[in-house]
Amino acid sequence: GPLLRPYPNWKWTKRGDCNGITSVYRVAIDPCNRLWVLDNGKIGQKVVCSAQLLVFDLSTDKLIKRIKIPDHLAQNSETKVGKLITPIVETHGLHCTDVTVYMADVTGYGLVIYDRGQMWRLESKEFRADPAVSNYTIMGESFTLEDGLLGMAKHPVLPILYFRPMSSHNMHSASTTDLKRSRYGFKVRYRTIRDVIPSQAAAMAISSGGILFFGLPTEVSLACWNTCKPLDKNSLVSLTCK
């Protein structure tokens, strides 16, 4: 097949250049054809550059916005550990001028929110790994991974953000209205369904019809759930790779 090329070009991949791209796990494309790149600025466990959000116009491949993420938001307030890996972009309006970005911190157990030019961080037990399910065995290989908040998906119609830590069997959700109001000190009401996922679960995505998909790495399978129905073990559908 054709060789892959770096996006947008090789100039963005220079070692030690904090105006370029350092380390990206996931990206998001919004309805206005913009690519949101969440750069955590780390190589291994070393912070090389400050974390940042880069926004590219996919019709021109040009950078149209750079949003620096301060270290005190990119890291846990107590441990000073953090790695931002998942961006969820919510837009409103014909030209996507009203934008909210939710960013998962997998090792610092936090959620960073960017909304209307303001940025803040939330930390909660719902974002943390469960030590009881931090041991993995995949295709005969065993290891320990205490990864927290990783998979997230915004409902296509309702003001709901679904999320979960990697090392957990729980599914969580919160009102995006609550999340946005938390900037002013309002309490976020988290909803948790415990022990409903059969194993640890990785990245999540949701269809326009409200079908939530997520990977089950230890089972080497893809699971889905129709969010119009109550979530329980009977409402999960799993496609196993053999």
So what's the pLDDT on residue 240?
A: 65
Name the residue among 182, 170, 82 with its Cα closest to residue 129: 170
So what's the pLDDT on residue 15?
A: 87
Q: In the chain, at which residue ranges do the beta strands (DSSP E only) sit?
A: 24-29, 34-39, 42-43, 46-47, 52-57, 62-68, 84-92, 98-105, 110-115, 118-123, 135-138, 141-144, 149-154, 160-165, 171-175, 190-193, 204-206, 211-216, 221-226, 236-240
What is residue 99's three-state secondary structure?
A: strand
Name the residue among 44, 45, 36 with its Cα closest to residue 69: 36
Q: What share of the chain is helix, strand, coil (3-state, %, to 5)?
A: 10, 45, 45
What number of H helices and E strands is found in the chain? 2, 20
Contact assessment for residue 236 and residue 192, using Cβ atoms and an 8 Å cutoff? no
Pairing, β 141-144 against β 84-92? unpaired
So what's the pLDDT on residue 238?
A: 87
What whole-number distance in Å separates Cα of residue 16 and Cα of residue 13?
9
What is residue 54's three-state secondary structure?
A: strand
CA 163 to chain CA centroid, Å, is 8
For the chain of 242 residues, list the mean pLDDT of each consecutive stretch of 10: 92 93 98 98 94 98 98 96 98 93 99 97 98 94 97 98 98 98 97 95 96 93 95 87 53
What whole-number distance in Å separates Cα of residue 141 and Cα of residue 205?
26
218-237 pLDDT, tens digit each: 988 999 999 999 999 899 99
- Domains (range + CATH), the chain: 1-123 (no CATH), 125-241 (2.120.10.30)
pTM of the model: 0.96
Query: Which H or E run includes 176?
Result: helix 176-181
**DSSP code, position 178:** H
Half-sphere exposure at residue 219, Cβ-oriented, CA atoms within 13 angstroms: 16
* Cα→Cα distances 232→97, 161, 170, 198, Å: 37, 18, 11, 10
So what's the pLDDT on residue 242?
A: 52
